[in-house]
Amino acid sequence: MKKIPLQVGVALATLMTTGIASANTQTLVNPSHFNPDSPASEQLTAQGVVLGTLWEQVSELRGIGKHREAIAILDQIVKLKPDSFLAWYWKGSLLTSLNQYEAAITSYDEAIKIKPNYLLAWFEKGNALHELKRYEASVDCWKKALSFQTTSDYEQTLVKTVIPKKIAKVLVYDLQQYQEAIAFYDQALEVETNSASIWTERATALYQLGRYQEAITNYEKAIEFDTRNAVAWKYRGLALYRLGRYQDAIASFERSASFDSDDVEVSTLLSILKTSRESTTEIRTSQQRLVALQGDIRTAEERLAALRIESQTVTAQLQASQGEVRQSQQQLVALRQEITSVQTEIESFKRERQSLDTRLVALRGEIETTEERLEASQVQVRQSEQRLVAIRQEVTTAQARIEALNTERESLEARLVAVRGEIETSQERLEASQLEIRQSQQQLVAVREDIKEVQVELESFRRERESLDARLVAVRGEIETTEERLEASQVQVRQSEQRLVAVRQEITTAQARIEALKTERESLEARLVAVRGEIETSQERLEVSRREQQTLQQRITTLQTEVRTFEQNIVATQTELRQLEATKKIQAEELQTIQVQYCGLQENLSELEVAIRRLRGVQLASDSVQRCRLSNDGSRNSSPGPRRVPVLPSDPDPRLIPLSPERR
């Protein structure tokens, strides 16, 4: 049994790996739990990009036939993502291409552990087991594959036709389980009702069960769909022979031999059946054989003309098939172009997604920078507020001190007024008492000293007040500057908040766009699946067209061989005819010679009888020597003519002698 060819992957390699990369990326990044700000999400995104690159490398290496290098990259993918059942599956497929079936089975088992209902892995594992001649295990794998739900047209084709036919063939030709095989053939016939090969193989299973009449019916069904099916004609003859219908069996074998002249088994069966028949006909004369040969020649000529007409018809069909093949090739080229365009769109989506990711990273950086600046501004605002509170406290303290100084100055002024009053009183008293004056003068000197001290202290108080006023002005300027900076910071904060809102809106838009791209990617993947199905259908149609073309070419070759054979038979027949004519002439001459000799003998006998009677002295009036017309001396022929001598037949042809029971 043949394996399903891997060219499902050669023609679709780029598409398959692109879809695989998308599937792995989708698995890594779950949109519902995606947090763009978390390091884990960034790590998963980077891992998805790496996996996509590795899958593209696998696709390129598979496309150029470098299977071992592709396997090495698949091992890297498995290390990065151990639960990638697709990586294990494709590794098994590549190992199968390298005829490493045991290792391939191990890879398929790993894929099945991850995804137990993966139909393709079970199917390919069965193929690998079949290559190792582990037939029962391969049948079990194929039966397991039949129990899963299909997700594509290709899997549906496998389940409905390909796998049932594979199981049935193994059951018939390897395990001899014919009854179960018939059930699987029935399952395949539900889809391919007009398949001559399935009807032929089903009939073979019936034949092995001894159900010959049912087998004949199935063989005739196969012949109905393929009249040149030499195998069906052959085994139909065997079934007829089993039922004792020898004439029909011979006719069926002859039809098989006419379509496959190289089948030694059919030739042997024909010779055995033909030699075992009892001959009931007598030896024919040369004229009958000549008539029969002439009839055969006419039949051969008519058949040759019919074969020429059929050859022309087959040539026309071949040209039509070639036209269909060219159309199929054009359709395949169109599909490849469409696949290329789909790949281009996918690449553009990937680039757009990368640009969006880059922009998202930049926006995240801007957001972080803005947040840092906002925090710094808030810190500055808090510091300014603290500094403003301190300045206000300091201003309050200065104001309190100024008020205290004013109070002290008022008290000093009041004291000065009092001192002046005392001076006036002292001057009035001076006149009354010089002692008091001297005392008063002394007191005045002391008071003047106190006044000077008070004036100095007042001057210092004034200078201190001026400095406090200047400091208050500076503090007020700082407060105004701080308030301006605070207002600017608040404006900047509001702008940052507005920008943050805009960035969040952009992030929401980007996420919505990513969702739209994912939806579009899913639609593209669905379209890709449909395109794969169309490609597989086109490949199957192309393969069918090729097989039909090969069949037509074989049929033309057979027809040409038959024409050459008929021409050789005609030449041989003509040669045999000429030989028969020459033999006929020779036999006629020999017959004439024998007749002449017979006439001579009759004349001699007549002369002897006359002489004997003369010697006996008995002479009759009618005594005379009888002459023959065919004798050498025709003038002596006076009698009516000699009797005809019967011509003896020659020895019969030993091939036409009936065989004895022992020889039969």
Give dist(CA 47, CA 70) in Å, integer: 19
Taking 80 as the threshold, does the pLDDT of residue 247 lie above it? Answer: yes
DSSP 232-287: HHHHHHHHHHHTT-HHHHHHHHHHHHHH-TT-HHHHHHHHHHHHHSPP-PPPPPHH
Domain 211-276, what fold? 1.25.40
Looking at residue 591, what is its pLDDT?
80
Q: Is 99 left (phi over 0), alpha (psi -120 to 50) or beta?
A: left
Pick from 493, 222, 226: nearest CA to 236: 222
Confidence of residue 360 (pLDDT cuts 50, 70, 90): confident
What is the mean predicted confidence (pLDDT) over 44-68?
A: 78
The torsion of the CA quartet 580, 585, 589, 592, rounded to 10 degrees, works out to: 90
pLDDT of residue 213: 92
- Between the ranges 168-182, 394-408, 466-480, 490-504, where is the mean pLDDT highest? 168-182
**Average pLDDT for residues 418-442, to the nearest whole number?**
71
197-219 per-position pLDDT tens digit: 899 999 999 999 999 999 999 99
pLDDT in tens, 541-598: 777 767 877 877 787 777 777 777 777 877 887 787 788 878 878 887 888 788 787 7
CATH classification for the domain delimited by 1-27+46-115, as one of 3.30.530.20, 1.25.40.10, 3.40.250.10, 3.30.56.10: 1.25.40.10
pLDDT of residue 68 exceeding 80, the answer is yes
Cβ atoms < 10 Å from Cβ of 323: 11
Contact yes or no for 164/188 (Cβ under 8 A): yes
Task: Give the DSSP letter string of 380-438.
Answer: HHHHHHHHHHHHHHHHHHHHHHHHHHHHHHHHHHHHHHHHHHHHHHHHHHHHH-HHHHH
Give yes or no for residue 233 having a pLDDT over 90: yes
**Averaged over 230-252, what is the pLDDT?**
89
How confident is the model at residue 281, as a pLDDT?
39
Confidence tier at 279 by pLDDT (50, 70, 90): very low
Residue 548, Cβ density class (10 Å: 0-12 exposed, 13-18 middle, ≥19 buried): middle
For the cut 50, the answer to whether the pLDDT of residue 444 exceeds it is: yes
Q: Is the pLDDT of residue 391 over 60?
A: yes
Taking the mean position of all CA atoms in its chain, how far away is CA 547? 21
pLDDT class for 414, splitting at 50, 70, 90? confident
Question: Which region among 16-20, 44-48, 126-130 has the lowest average model confidence (pLDDT)?
Answer: 16-20
pLDDT for 35 beyond 70? no
Confidence of residue 628 (pLDDT cuts 50, 70, 90): low
Task: Say what the pLDDT of residue 635 is.
Answer: 40
pLDDT digits (tens, 9 = 90+) for 138-148: 999 998 888 88
* Per-residue pLDDT at 619 exceeds 90: no
Q: What is the pLDDT of residue 505?
A: 76
Instruction: Measure the CA–CA gap between 514 and 153, rounded to whole angstroms.
Output: 29
Confidence of residue 22 (pLDDT cuts 50, 70, 90): very low
Per-chain mean pLDDT for the chain: 74
Give yes or no for residue 7 having a pLDDT over 50.
no
Q: What is the mean pLDDT of residues 451-479?
A: 78
Can you tell me the mean pLDDT for 591-607?
Answer: 77
Render pLDDT for 379-390 as a digit per residue (tens, 0 to 9). Answer: 876 887 787 788
* Cβ–Cβ under 8 Å, residues 363 and 37: no
Q: What is the pLDDT averaged over residues 462-487? A: 78
What pLDDT shows up at residue 142?
Answer: 92
The residue-averaged pLDDT of 632-655 equals 37
Q: Write out the E strands in 442-543.
A: none
Q: Where are the domains of the chain?
A: 1-27+46-115, 211-276
Does 111 or 434 have the greater pLDDT score? Answer: 111
Q: What is the pLDDT of residue 128?
A: 92
What pLDDT does residue 584 have?
79
**Residue 270: its pLDDT value, please?**
82
pLDDT tens digits for range 297-341: 777 777 777 777 876 777 777 777 677 767 767 777 776 777 777
Q: Compute the distance between CA of residue 265 and CA of residue 253 in angstroms, rounded to an integer.
A: 10
pLDDT band at 620 (very low <50, low <70, confident <90, very high): low
In percent, the amount of the chain with pLDDT more than 90 equals 8
Torsion angle of C-alpha atoms 319, 321, 324, 325, degrees rounded to 10? -100
pTM: 0.39
What pLDDT shows up at residue 342?
67
Q: 348 falls in which pLDDT band (50, 70, 90)? A: confident
pLDDT tier at 235, thresholds 50, 70, 90:
very high
Among 25-39, 328-342, 453-467, whose mean pLDDT is lowest?
Answer: 25-39
Indicate if 211-276 has the same CATH topology as 1-27+46-115: yes
pLDDT of residue 632: 47
Tell me, letter by letter, the H, E, C secondary structure of 76-108: HHHHHCCCCHHHHHHHHHHHHHCCCHHHHHHHH
In this predicted model, what pLDDT tens digit does every residue of 258-274 receive, in sequence order?
Answer: 888 888 888 888 877 77
Lowest mean pLDDT among 92-96, 282-286, 551-555, 584-588: 282-286
